[in-house]
Structure 1
């Protein structure tokens, strides 16, 4: 099929013969942090280097949602429908309350400032999980150079008590993250130390205990060409990952099933639409979407 690379036969069943990749909007500098708002029927995403959060609505196009955004990156919704956003400039997580006010949730661990929270997801118990690499404070393009106070890590936050726990610190550059549908596995993209010539770049998978601790952390899959940045998961547990040539679909066993080919390097992606069967894709400076024969795991 044109526009796809079917590697395993079952991937063909995830595709629809009468649809293809759509270009929704362009002219951005670098798209990140896609999150679907089903109750508002809109998509929010970051135009990160321009320090603004954008909103896309079918038939109405793109409008400004928030500027400045604190050089916002990853976004998610909590179980009350509130927006949780990572901020590079402020080195924290923000929550937008239902009345529109903004609350700073966390900016420190063990008394030291976080680096530059990158991606975030919310578990069904309300706990907030996020990655904290150094990327956003290493240059002036995506937040502004600042000194790091602690190593890159993955954290979980109890928004009720404010308690923060480091759940994995053996990363050079933790990036996108996503839970399996049953929340017993956590996938985390290791994007590595990009100041090195050959950084570590692959997706890792962890087992999640009922108490919220992680074990394992084995190599799950290595994206080629490029590397994994954003991740999302469908109803069957397949992992959909960004890549240099588009979006790669990976089985729960770590096998590459196929690719959605995209003209530009993909940074981030999320499932959305009324039935959660529309994959929204941040392709560098262009926003794309495609309808699939699979539903994503998305809230709400």
Structure 2
């Protein structure tokens, strides 16, 4: 079982071990000052794509920066096994696929005749099923998604290869953001980050067991970490050893909803058992997401407040 952790209040508690080996092989390096707000996704030929300034922007393996998909209005990005890009097109409240020829296919725009809130982040399991989170930050006046009792729903959805859309999380978390699945389809991780609209919202990372059919076992919900009153977890990725890399925290308080005492913004690394192994600070707010890339899969790219950072890791990310 994963152990519960108390909220961050004074220090970031790392595993106490004289022989603890770092998962990082370098300090963070600032690559660019603009254009990298969210959704980093690596492609071996294209390089790195990020959502920023309303577009999907490209940074080639040689470091050249261009606008790749103008006006995309995107957040989370991920390439599927065929090399097509799956996009959380937040501005249009839908999930789409951008094929390699540039054409768009709408994968999900509504559920039970209700528009999604704002698709945020996604992952793809070993069976090709797409899971995406659907929170609503900021203005809530246009929310359509409600349950049978009229309660607002900020859920997690699954899109099967045949196009069927199912809701897999309804009220088990407060406001889902980042999401990841282990390669064996055993576990689903969800970043629960209600960092605005009300005080006392969740800033937690959860784990659920996945059933073979792609639904969660709600009884297995397990808390991995609680960031307390600071900014909670956003994007997350796994390496091939099963460790979880989570973008979270703040350098400066964002009152009244988020504190930052002490500075907690950066990348948190947890063991497969949920133990906090390492923390590396990123000095820009907000640290929003991360992904592995580079020719060997050992470069971790981090988005933070529109800026882009990189650091080397000792282990490749999943998919490399």
Contact 1:134 1:148 in 2 (8 A): no
Two-structure CA RMSD over aligned residues (Å): 2.1
How big is the shift at 1:296?
A: 0.7
Q: Structure 1 275/6 Cα, relative in aligned 2: closer, same or farther at 3 Å? A: farther
Matched-pair contact (CA < 8 Å) for 2:15–2:276 = yes
Q: Is the aligned partner of 1:162 residue 2:163?
A: yes
1:34 aligned onto 2:40: yes
Which 4+ stretches in 1 moved above 6 angstroms?
A: none
> Secondary structure at 2:198's aligned position in 1?
coil
Give the structure 1 partner of residue 3 of structure 2: none
Contact 1:54 1:62 in 2 (8 A): yes
The match for 1:147 among 129, 143, 146 is: 143
Looking at structure 2, the residues matched to 97 and 273 of structure 1 have their Cα atoms a distance apart, in angstroms, of 22
Q: Relative to structure 1, is the Cα distance of residues 275 and 116 closer, same or farther in structure 2, using a 3 angstrom cutoff? A: same
SS state of the match for residue 181, structure 1?
Answer: coil
1:66 aligned onto 2:69? yes
Q: TM-score, normalised by structure 2?
A: 0.83
Give SS of 1:270's match. Answer: strand
Q: Partner of 2:28 in structure 1? A: 21
Alignment check: 8 A CA contact 2:30 2:308 kept: yes
What pairs up with 1:126-205 in 2 under 5 angstroms? Answer: 126-135=128-137, 138=139, 146-150=142-146, 151-159=153-161, 161-170=162-171, 171-192=173-194, 194-205=196-207
Tell whether 2:280 aligns with 1:260: yes
Measure, in 2, the Cα distance between the counterparts of 1:89 and 1:285: 17
Contact 1:231 1:269 in 2 (8 A): yes
Superposed displacement of residue 118, structure 1: 0.5
Partner of 2:247: 242
Q: Which runs of 5+ in 1 are unaligned?
A: 140-144
* Distance in structure 2 (CA, Å) of the matches to 1:20 and 1:5: 19
| Structure 2 segments unaligned to the other structure (5+ residues) | 1-11, 147-152, 250-264
Which residue of 1 is the match for residue 4 of structure 2? Answer: none
Q: Matched residue pairs, number? A: 282
The answer (yes or no) to whether the contact 2:125–2:183 under 8 Å persists in 1 is no
Give the distance between the partners of 2:117 and 2:192, measured in 1 at CA: 16
